[in-house]
Amino acid sequence: MHEPNWFRWTRRVGLFVLLVFTLVPIYVMVSSAVKPLQDVQGAFTWWPSHFTLGPFRDMWTTIPLARYFVNSLVVAAASSLASVLIALLAAYSISRYRFRGRQTFSVVVLSTQMFPGILFLLPLFVMFVNISNVTGINLYGSRLGLILTFLTFTLPFAIWMLIGYLDSIPRELDEAALVDGNGPLGALFRVVVPAAIPGIVAVAIYAFMTAWGEVLFASVMTDDSTRTLAVGLRGYATQNNVYWNQIMAASLTVSVPIVIGFLMLQRFMVAGMTAGSVK
């Protein structure tokens, strides 16, 4: 498609500015990760006084970084997968069907986004404790409790966004699938989901990152063995010293797999899955 020249230049300048805005703090992180401790505690310098990989070595022992990393990965992956799946079913229901209670459900689910998260904390904790007393399923201090909590936190948004994405997929696709002899669920998974992949991927990313970064609930609901990164990284700020360089080194290290994941998921954000499938 022909692009006007001015558009091409606007794109270059615009993206450049955005990249600078986005990446300056990243540069600060990267350069701080290879600075000795004195450098990061004194006046800022663009370049380290001398390069050192010490922070990358020490960061594993100042806090149990590997364990926290695994905890975060497991919790975030599980909660985002579960959240997207549950949200997909609910969104399909709301997008494609008109039934009594549809509006009520949407409004109630939305209202949960209006209540400050901090006030959920104590009642939720009390509930988890009671559930564990009654049923023996340990929810606090365990990954399961955290997964359930996170998946529910992301659920309303996931449902709403998926409704939006599904709404923009024409009904003709569903009908075509049903004509072919599929049931509604078959239509959902065989035709609608492939068409909604960019939206689903975006929502899954959101759910994953929310679980990845949540601090308040994770700080109360975990103990030493189940602690996640978001909380654990604060351990680098100790009684006497804030080990900035190790914080940066650790953050960069744990973010690398995430960024690689983003790169790989790029492919799914590409158009072409729907075009041409409606005859």
Partner 1 sequence: MVDAVQATAPHGRSPVNSVQRRKRRRQWLPYVLLIPAIVMELLIHIIPMLIGVVMSFFKMTQLYLGNWQQAPFAHLDNYRLAMDFNQPAGKALLHSFAVTIAFTVLVLAFSWSLGLAAAVLTQRPFRGRGIVRTLLLVPFALPIFASVITWNFMAQRDTGVINHVLVNQLHLTQGNPFWLIGGNSFVTLTLVVIWRTWPFAFLMMSAGMQSIPADVYEAAVLDGAGVFAQLRRVTLPLLAPVNRVLVLVLFLWTFNDFTTPYTLFGDTTPVQADLISIHIYQNSFGTWNFGTGSAMSVLLLLFLMVVTGLYLFFVNRRTDSA
Partner 2 sequence: MRLNKTATAAVAALMVLPLAACSGSGATKGSSKSNAGVTLTYWASNQGTSLDNDKQVLTPELAKFTKATGIKVELEVVPWADLLNRVLAATTSGKGPDVVNIGNTWSSSVQATGAFLPFDDATLTAIGGKSRFLAGSMLATGVAGQPPAAVPIYSMAYGLYYNKKQFKAAGISSPPTTWDEFLVDAKKLTTPKHWALSLEAGSKTENIHTAFTLSQQQGGSWFDSSGKATFNTPQNVAAIKQYIDFMQTDKIVNPSDAQYSNGTEALKDFATGTTSMVFWQAAQASLKQLGMNPDDIGVAPVPLPAQLPAGGKPVTSMVAGINLGIFKNTKNKDAAIQFVKFMTSTPEQQMLNKTYGSLPSVTDAYSDPAFQAPNVLVIKDVLSKSAAPLPQVPGESQFEKLVGAAMTTLFADAATGKTVTSAQIASALAAAQQQVTS
Among 237, 260, 273, 278, binds partner 2 (CB under 8 A): 237
Nearer to partner 2, 5 or 239 (CB): 239
Residue 194 near which of partner 2, partner 1, none (CB within 5-8 Å, type-dependent): none
Burial level of 77, CB count in 10 A (0-12/13-18/19+)? middle
CA dist 216 → 12, 122, 126, 211 (Å): 40, 11, 16, 11
In the chain, how many H helices and how many E strands? 14, 0
Nearer to partner 1, 56 or 206 (CB): 206
Nearer to partner 2, 109 or 258 (CB): 109
Amino acid in position 217:
F
Triad 144, 145, 147: Cα angle to 5°: 65
Site string for partner 2, 120-159 (x = CB under 8 A): -xxx-xxxxxxxxxx-----x-------------------
Distance of CA 5 to the CA centre of its chain: 37
CB of 94 to partner 1, least distance (A): 8
Question: Is residue 148 near partner 1 by the rule CB under 8 A?
Answer: yes
The footprint of partner 2 on residues 15-44 (CB under 8 A) is 41
Strand ranges inside 200-263, DSSP E? none
Site string for partner 1, 151-190 (x = CB under 8 A): xxx-xxx-xxx-xxx-xxx-x--xx--xx-x-xx------
The footprint of partner 1 on residues 187-246 (CB under 8 A) is 195-196, 198-199, 201-202, 205-206, 209, 212-216, 229-230, 233-234, 244
CB of 127 to partner 2, least distance (A): 5
The footprint of partner 1 on residues 63-92 (CB under 8 A) is 86-87, 89-90, 92
> Quick check: 159 and 109 in contact, CB under 8 A?
yes
CB of 218 to partner 1, least distance (A): 11
Nearest Cα to Cα of residue 192 among 179, 180, 176 = 176
Strand ranges inside the chain, DSSP E? none
Q: At what angle do helices 244-265 and 54-62 cross, to 10 degrees?
A: 90
